[in-house]
Amino acid sequence: MLDTYTKSIIGKSKQLLEIDRDCIELLYEAPTPESSNDIKEYLVEMMRQCGNAFVLWNEIRKLLIEVSTVNIHDDSIKELLRKIRNDEQLYSVETYVRIAEDFGKNIEEADAIDVDTFDLVANNPDTLIEFHSKVDYISYFVRSMRIGALIASRSVPEEISSSFSELRDCFAFGFLRASGAICRMMMETAYYHALQRHSDFFRTGDNVVRIDLRTEDRLFQFIKEAHRLGLVGQKVTQKAHDTRRLVNAGVIHTKGLNPSLSESETIQIIHDTMDVIEAVYATR
């Protein structure tokens, strides 16, 4: 049985396809307007149809963010939804945008009509109400404050800093598995930098990679080698391995089980990751 969102997506998609066909027919098959009054009526009808298409296009885009998967059997609707997802405009929507942009050049900004999705969302007060009904901004700040910032004695690369900002936002919004995945990526990046600086771990004399990165758990290999070289102590090494295992169990290697991390597990992963990264970049 179809859920409410899918039913709405299908219904609006059918309307949009019909309007798009009508717009194409209006352009190529309608009689050529001759008088100024005919031209005016033609443009009004074209803008009305294309405006409806623009609204439907964006309503469908908005519905698509409410679901993760849409099961559709109709090929024409599947093709339409892929176009919407990939921001490939239909004729009717493209025509609307072109007319709206030309119209907006000659009027005051306050009177301008919506040109793109940003305008439609920004000028719709219900969107803000819906957003606040879904996002607990108090929890957002509380979670952000639980993460804080990296505290390092040496410079941390920009790719780590930017990844950490993404991590903080992920956790603040409650995206726990994504937070765990970013932690693993950050640890792998940090260890890679350390080994690149301090060893020939990645290359032999003939420039061949020493480990098969396609089949090995390369983070495990990085942690193990950094410890062997004395770049990171036993306590940090154990923390890195424990964190790697926890992320693997909750996010990656779930063996058919539902992947999940609790908030307490995620905050432990984040804090331990921060400790590991700070220690790795403290290596001279």
pLDDT digits (tens, 9 = 90+) for 20-65: 999 888 878 777 777 888 787 887 888 888 889 988 998 898 888 8
228 with 198, same domain: the answer is yes
pLDDT tens digits, one per residue of 81-92: 999 888 888 888
Tokens of 6: 């899918």
Got the DSSP string for 220-249?
HHHHHHHHHTTSS-HHHHHHHHHHHHHHII
141 with 277, same domain: the answer is yes
45 with 144, same domain: the answer is no
Domains in the chain, number: 2
118 with 201, same domain: the answer is no
Q: Kindly state the helix (H) or strand (E) to which residue 182 belongs, with its residue range.
A: helix 176-198
> According to the model, what pLDDT value does residue 110 have?
47
119 with 144, same domain: the answer is no
119 with 148, same domain: the answer is no
pLDDT tens digits, one per residue of 142-152: 888 888 888 87
Q: 176: domain range?
A: 137-281
Tokens of 114: 């919506």
Q: Could you give the angle at which helices 91-104 and 4-28 cross, rounded to 10 degrees? A: 70
233 with 198, same domain: the answer is yes
> According to the model, what pLDDT value does residue 212 have?
52
Residue scoring higher pLDDT (140 or 131): 140
74 with 198, same domain: the answer is no
185 with 271, same domain: the answer is yes
What is the CB neighbour count within 10 angstroms for residue 144? 14
